Amino acid sequence: MLNSAKPTLGVINAEPEPIKLDWPATALLIIDMQRDFMEPGGFGETLGNDVSQLARAVEPIGAVLKAARDTGMLVIHTREGHLPDLSDAPPAKVERGAPSLRIGDPGPMGRILIRGEAGHDIIPELYPLDSEVVIDKPGKGAFYATELTDVLEKYGIENLLVCGVTTEVCVNTTVREANDRGYRCVVISDGCASYFPEFHEMGLKMIKAQGGIFGWVADSAAVLEAMKVSTT
C-alpha cells in the first residue's frame, strides 16, 4: 500500500528564513559523535579541552535521529580518524601543537584517532544501525577524501540536516564544502557543540549571516516540528 499520509515536503522555521525541504531528497548528517571527541582520554582531551562541553548535543541529536529513523530518512554518520599506519595523516596534523598524546599514540581508549580503536567509535547513545551509512574521513570536512558525494548522488540527496561536533571545526568545514557543492544545509543549533561556547555561537552566526551565506540554522524542536514528530 502506498503511504500517501507521509508528508514529502516540510518547512523548517529556520534562520535567516524558513526553508522548504523535500524529505526524500534530505539526509541527516551526524558529524563525528565519537568517543575520541566526547569522552575523557580521547583526542579532544589530549588537546586540553573540557570534553563535558559537548554532552549537551547528544539529546537533541538523539531526538532528530529517532525521527529520521521513524520517517525513513537517510542517516549518515561520519568519523574523523586515520589508518593505523598513519599514511593518511599529514605530518602537519600529527606534529601540530603540544597535545598530551599525539594522533596514533596509545591512550586509554586505544590509539588516539585511529580507525578501529575504541575511541574512534561513535558513542553508544547515537550508535549507527547496520542500515545507516558511516563515512570515515581523514580531514575535518566530510567531503575531503571520502565517498560522501557518491552516497548523496546515489540517494538523490539535495538537502542536509547537519549536526555533531565541533560546531566551528568539522561541522563548519563540512557545511562549507557542502554549500560549494550545491547542497542546502540546515544546521541543527542545539545538535552541535564546541569545547568553546563562544565559538559555537559564532560558528552558527557565520553560517546564517548575510542571508544564509553557507546555509540555515534551526533548533531541533523546529526540525522535529517540520518532520511532524512530537517533541514531547
List active site positions. Answer: 32, 137, 170
Residue in 27, 61, 165, 187 binding ligand C5J, rule: CB under 6 A: 165
93 to 122, contacts with ligand C5J by CB under 6 A?
none
Which range binds ligand C5J by CB under 6 A, 21-29, 67-75, 141-149, 164-172?
Answer: 164-172
Confirm or reject binding of residue 166 to ligand C5J (CB under 6 A).
Answer: yes
Cβ proximity to ligand C5J, 169 vs 175, nearer residue:
169
Contact between residue 160 and residue 180 where contact means Cβ atoms under 8 Å apart: no
Contact between residue 150 and residue 178 where contact means Cβ atoms under 8 Å apart: no
Cβ proximity to ligand C5J, 137 vs 226, nearer residue:
137
The C-alpha atoms of residue 173 and residue 69 are separated, in whole angstroms, by 26
181 to 210, contacts with ligand C5J by CB under 6 A?
none
Which range binds ligand C5J by CB under 6 A, 58-66, 67-75, 88-96, 166-174?
Answer: 166-174
Cβ proximity to ligand C5J, 42 vs 212, nearer residue:
42
Q: What one-letter code names the amino acid at 87?
A: S
Ordered alpha helix ranges (H), the chain: 35-38, 43-46, 58-71, 91-94, 148-154, 172-180, 197-212, 220-226
Rounded (5°) CA angle 188-189-195: 120
54 to 83, contacts with ligand C5J by CB under 6 A?
80
Residue 216 host element (H or E): strand 216-218
Residue in 75, 76, 170, 192 binding ligand C5J, rule: CB under 6 A: 170
Task: Characterize the bridge pairing of strands 19-22 and 9-12.
Answer: antiparallel
Cβ proximity to ligand C5J, 23 vs 80, nearer residue:
80
Q: How many helices and strands in the chain, by DSSP H and E?
A: 8, 10
Confirm or reject binding of residue 45 to ligand C5J (CB under 6 A).
Answer: no
Q: Please, what is the minimum distance in Å from the beta carbon of residue 37 to ligand C5J? A: 6
Return the bridge partners of 162, or none: 29, 187
Confirm or reject binding of residue 169 to ligand C5J (CB under 6 A).
Answer: yes
Residue in 19, 28, 32, 215 binding ligand C5J, rule: CB under 6 A: 32
| Contacting residues for 129 by C-beta, under 8 A, at least 6 apart | 69, 75
Residues binding ligand C5J (CB under 6 A): 32, 37, 80, 140, 165-166, 169-170
